[in-house]
Amino acid sequence: MLQDYLYIFDMLGTMSCAVSGVIVATRLRMDPFGLLVIATVTAVGGGTSRDIMMGATPVFWIHDNNYIYVVFISVLVSVLWLRRLHKVPPYLLLMWDAFGLAIFTVVGAQKAMLLGFSPLIVVAMGCVTGVAGGMIRDVLTGQIPFVLQKEIYATASLFGALLYVGCSYMGLEPIVVMIIAILGALSLRLAALYWHLSLPILSAN
């Protein structure tokens, strides 16, 4: 039951990240298979990093090929959809990336909790799963990673992971905890984008 919800969220996160990869790749005028490579590494990069660090290998998408099929379908649909737009508005990338960040943070935290890791590691694995895919996408394509930009980003992932751990310890229903944590991380990130919120900089000079 919990596993089913987790699976659905995982697929939604995979889709969101794949679409964000497609948007970056079309901007760079990449061909269909280059685009597929970028969409795939963005979609499975976070979970792959998490599984590798936890020693949960072969990694998840080797066990369950549905993740790859979801990437294929997301790429196909989003390419057709993006072609119908006159111009891709800049907020599209930010939004799909935000969905992926929020969902994958909570999915990653949940998977680490199911494996019995300590709360600190649950939070860390949530953040790794949430931010690594987008980071790999940005490094491979030469974009400035979102984590380096001034709007709240890593903080939103950390907030979602902390919400997840906090609400779990309060004994709420797992599905309720997941929804609260996803909405928390997503709201914080979207609010930061909308109102250009940023934390104070701890600059040296």
By the criterion CB under 8 A, which residues form the site for its own copies?
26-38, 48, 52-55, 57-59, 62, 65, 68, 79, 82-83, 85-88, 117-118, 120-121, 124, 127, 131, 135, 139-142, 144-145, 147-148, 150, 152-155, 158, 198-205
d(CA 9, CA 73): 16
d(CA 97, CA 70): 16
Residue 97, SS3 per DSSP: helix
Q: What are phi and psi of 149, to 5 degrees?
A: -85, 165
Return the number of the residue (154 or 191) whose C-beta is nearest its own copies: 154
Looking at this protein, which amino acid is placed at residue 80? L
Q: 23 CB contacts (<8 Å, ≥6 apart)? A: 78, 82, 88, 92, 93, 96
Angle at 32 between CA 99 and CA 138, to 5 degrees: 45
Work out how close the CB of 82 gets to its own copies at its nearest, in angstroms, rounded to a whole number: 4
Q: What is the dihedral of CA 126, 131, 133, 139, to 10 degrees?
A: -150
Work out how close the CB of 140 gets to its own copies at its nearest, in angstroms, rounded to a whole number: 6
* Helices of type H across the chain: 2-27, 32-54, 60-63, 66-84, 90-114, 119-140, 154-169, 174-194
Separation in Å, CA 58 to CA 49, 93, 115: 12, 30, 15
Work out how close the CB of 76 gets to its own copies at its nearest, in angstroms, rounded to a whole number: 10
Return the number of the residue (1 or 195) whose C-beta is nearest its own copies: 195
